[in-house]
């Protein structure tokens, strides 16, 4: 007995009707991971010899998902015989040889159960009563305020567990019991296999109940014990979307607490949402309204928010991202982003750089110390170091059919409202004049000017817009005298 079970069997064949969803229940997500993903992560932390998932309802979708997240898991199909006992029997039948040692059973729709709790269950199970070897069954139980619907844990006068009775099969005295069966167990494999061969379906639902195994092994003289938990969240399943949101919020609360304990400042835990796979360093600050998703990593001292969503992003030490949205972007140490910018996949902002307000970037590698401060689109571009991109510049990367690349060198000054039309290279140290449409390469050190020559038509307003406030203002500016303005005359009407 090593604490490593022979198998963990995760039950996921049920229909999940109350979700009212085309998506299989166990594929719904909280904390950026499917319910089944949470169950498999806890199960896999025990490093069992075999990880088995029992499927049936929407089988192909569930199996495909398992293939993606746990390719080594054994997918076992439950046949048409219903019930949790049948499900486990089908799961064990899918193994190459009958298991020996400990078999753990969990559910695919109980996402807050931790690997630590499962490890404790296995430890208590394998310790048994101390001398007589492992128990036959150890069941994780919980005392709940409202046990309606759950199986009840039955104990004898001495307090030993004698069995489990389902709510619908229970008499009033049994229904008064508030200790419920979580549905999570550690079994002795040989005793489980033997008992599964003997369970019937003589119950209100006509199903083969796994819970009947407890009574059978107990009657055979085996030790049946309970491990009560006080953390009710860990044994709560998702049956509908209300529970999905409730458990999602509790998972998030736990994640945020853990990060605060490890040195992250979170100003408003209630509006801070973290996926399970984000990584936050010490002295990161998260301001209100932040979502960090899909493996986002934040380095020491960086500040995110308020009101920022980052998905699959990396933020370097001391950087800040304010009121912005990023996906698949990297912001290196000391850089500043926002407010109100959109960093799309392939964005890399080099150290000590800036992406300011109302900027969109995509597939854009921006060098160390370079700045894109205002109102700009940068797509499919490489920008060197120490370069400044003037306000309202557009990297015109798309001709309606093809996307092309633009390279801007080091220490370039792109004037405001420049259109850089791809494909294009702007050499090191070059300038572009404000308002230019640049369509051909600019050599290093050159000034590129590409705009119409200005022409002033003297006296045009007096001739073509007489009697307007503009004409009055122009007249006052040229004669130096104040006259009664047309505006005042209009206002008086």
Residue 37 as a binder of ligand UD1 (CB under 6 A): the answer is no
The stretch near ligand UD1 (CB under 6 A) out of 5-13, 315-323, 372-380, 476-484 is 5-13
In whole angstroms, how close is the CB of 37 to ligand UD1 at the nearest point?
A: 14
- For the bound state, the minimum distance from the C-beta of residue 106 to ligand UD1, rounded and expressed in Å, comes to 9
Q: Are 282 and 300 in contact (CB under 8 A)?
A: yes
Q: Which of 19, 35, 43, 87: binder of ligand UD1 (CB under 6 A)?
A: 87
d(CA 211, CA 141): 13
Give the separation between CA 366 and CA 346, rounded to whole angstroms. Answer: 11
The correct pick among 8, 11, 331, 448 for binding ligand UD1 (CB under 6 A) is: 11
If one asks whether residue 163 binds ligand UD1 (CB under 6 A), the answer comes out as no
CA dihedral (167, 173, 177, 181) positive or negative = negative
Mask of contacts with ligand UD1, 45-74, x by CB under 6 A? Answer: ---------x--------------------
- Please state, in angstroms and rounded to a whole number, the distance separating the CA atoms of residues 488 and 477: 17
Radius of gyration for the alpha carbons in the chain, expressed in angstroms and rounded: 34
Min separation Cβ 91 and ligand UD1, Å? 9
Q: Between residues 36 and 372, which has the closer beta carbon with respect to ligand UD1? A: 36
The yes-or-no answer on residue 374 being catalytic is: yes
Q: How far is the CB of 109 from ligand UD1 (least distance, A)?
A: 5
Query: Which of 30, 107, 307, 327 is in the footprint of ligand UD1 by CB under 6 A?
Result: 107
> Quick one: which of 42, 102, 109, 313 contacts ligand UD1 (CB under 6 A)?
109
Alpha carbon of residue 235 to chain centroid: 22
360's CB contacts (< 8 A; 6+ apart) are 341, 342, 344, 376, 377, 378, 379
Pairing between strand 320-321 and 336-337?
Answer: parallel
Q: Determine the length of the chain.
A: 493
Q: Is 378 in the site for ligand UD1 (CB under 6 A)?
A: no
Question: Rounded to 5 degrees, what angle do the CA atoms 320, 326, 332 make?
Answer: 45
**How distant, in Å, are the alpha carbons of 110, 134, 213 from that of 194?**
27, 17, 9
* Span from 80-88, 353-361, 402-410, 429-437 in contact with ligand UD1 (CB under 6 A): 80-88
Residue number of the CB atom closest to ligand UD1: 151
- Judged by CB under 6 A, does residue 84 bind ligand UD1? yes
- Choosing from 5, 9, 14, 332, the residue that interacts with ligand UD1 (CB under 6 A) is 14
Q: Is 158 helix (H, G, I), strand (E, B) or coil?
A: coil
Are residues 46 and 115 in contact, defined by beta-carbon separation less than 8 angstroms?
yes
Using the contact rule CB under 6 A, the part of the chain among 79-87, 124-132, 247-255, 347-355 near ligand UD1 is 79-87
- Please tell me the distance from the alpha carbon of residue 424 to that of residue 394, in angstroms, as a whole number: 13
| Catalytic entry in 167, 374, 402, 411 | 374
> What counts of helices (H) and strands (E) characterise the chain?
11, 39
Residues 217-236, buried b or exposed e (16+ Cβ, 10 A)?
bbeeebbbbbbebeeebbbb
Which residue in 34, 78, 252, 418 binds ligand UD1 (CB under 6 A)? 78
Pick 12 or 46: Cβ nearer ligand UD1? 12
Q: What is the rounded distance in angstroms from the CA atom of residue 2 to the CA atom of residue 4? A: 5
181 binds ligand UD1 (CB under 6 A): yes
Pick out residues in 211-240 that bind ligand UD1 (CB under 6 A): 211, 237
How near is the Cβ of 107 to ligand UD1 at its closest, in Å? 4
| Part of the chain binding ligand UD1 (CB under 6 A), chosen from 11-19, 244-252, 300-308, 361-369 | 11-19
We find the least distance from the C-beta atom of residue 245 to ligand UD1, in angstroms, to be 19
Whichever of 7 and 315 has its CB closer to ligand UD1, that residue is 7
Residue closest to 140 by CA, chosen among 126, 168, 120, 115: 120
Nearer Cβ to ligand UD1 (229/418) = 229
Q: Does 164 bind ligand UD1 (CB under 6 A)?
A: yes
**CB distance 73 to 52 below 8 Å:** yes
What 353-362 contacts at long range (C-beta under 8 Å, 24+ apart), as own/partner pairs, is 355/331, 361/329
Q: Is 187 in the site for ligand UD1 (CB under 6 A)?
A: no
Active site residue ranges:
374
Contacting residues toward ligand UD1, per CB under 6 A: 11-14, 54, 78, 82-84, 86-87, 107-109, 150-151, 164, 166, 180-183, 209-211, 237
């Amino acid at each position: 007995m090593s604490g490593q079970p022979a198998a963990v069997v995760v039950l996921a064949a049920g229909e999940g009707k109350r979700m009212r969803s085309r998506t299989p229940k166990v594929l719904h997500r909280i904390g950026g991971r499917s319910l089944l993903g949470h169950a498999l992560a806890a199960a896999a932390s025990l490093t069992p010899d075999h990880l088995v998932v029992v499927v049936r309802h929407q089988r192909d979708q569930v199996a495909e998902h398992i293939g993606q997240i746990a390719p080594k898991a054994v997918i076992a199909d439950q046949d048409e015989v219903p019930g949790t006992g049948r499900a486990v029997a089908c799961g064990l039948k899918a193994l190459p040889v009958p298991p020996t040692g400990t078999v753990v059973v969990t559910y695919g729709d109980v996402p807050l159960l931790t690997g630590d709790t499962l490890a404790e269950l296995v430890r208590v199970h394998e310790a048994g009563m101390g001398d007589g070897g492992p128990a036959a069954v150890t069941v994780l139980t919980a005392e709940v305020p409202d046990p309606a619907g759950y199986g009840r844990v039955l104990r004898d006068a001495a307090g030993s567990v004698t069995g489990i009775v389902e709510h619908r099969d229970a008499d009033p005295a049994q229904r008064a019991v508030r200790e419920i069966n979580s549905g999570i167990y550690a079994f002795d494999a040989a005793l489980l296999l033997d008992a599964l061969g003997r369970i019937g379906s003589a119950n209100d639902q006509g199903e083969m109940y796994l819970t009947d195994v407890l009574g059978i092994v107990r009657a055979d003289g085996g030790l049946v014990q309970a491990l009560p938990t006080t953390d009710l969240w860990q044994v709560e399943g998702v049956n509908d979307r209300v529970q999905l949101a409730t458990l999602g919020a509790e998972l998030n609360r736990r994640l945020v607490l853990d990060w605060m304990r490890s040195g992250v400042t979170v100003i408003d835990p209630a509006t801070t949402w973290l996926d399970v796979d984000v990584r936050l360093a010490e002295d990161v600050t998260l301001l209100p309204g932040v979502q960090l998703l899909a493996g986002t990593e934040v380095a020491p001292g960086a500040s995110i928010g308020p009101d920022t969503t980052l998905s699959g992003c990396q933020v370097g030490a001391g950087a800040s991202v304010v009121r912005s949205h990023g996906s698949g972007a990297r912001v290196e140490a000391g850089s500043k982003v926002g407010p109100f910018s959109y960093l799309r996949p392939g964005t890399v902002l080099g150290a000590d750089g800036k992406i300011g307000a109302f900027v969109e970037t995509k597939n854009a590698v921006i060098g160390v110390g370079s700045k894109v401060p205002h109102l700009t689109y940068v797509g499919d571009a490489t920008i060197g170091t120490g370069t400044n991109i003037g306000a309202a510049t557009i990297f015109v990367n798309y001709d309606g059919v093809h996307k092309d690349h633009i390279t801007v060198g080091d220490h370039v000054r792109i004037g405001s409202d420049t259109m850089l039309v791809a494909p294009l290279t702007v050499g090191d140290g070059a300038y572009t004049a404000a308002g230019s449409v640049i369509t051909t390469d600019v050599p290093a050190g050159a000034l590129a000017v590409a705009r119409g020559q200005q022409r002033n038509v003297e006296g045009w307003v007096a001739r073509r817009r007489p009697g307007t406030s503009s004409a009055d203002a122009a007249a006052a500016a040229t004669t130096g005298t104040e006259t009664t303005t047309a505006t005042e005359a209009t206002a008086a009407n």
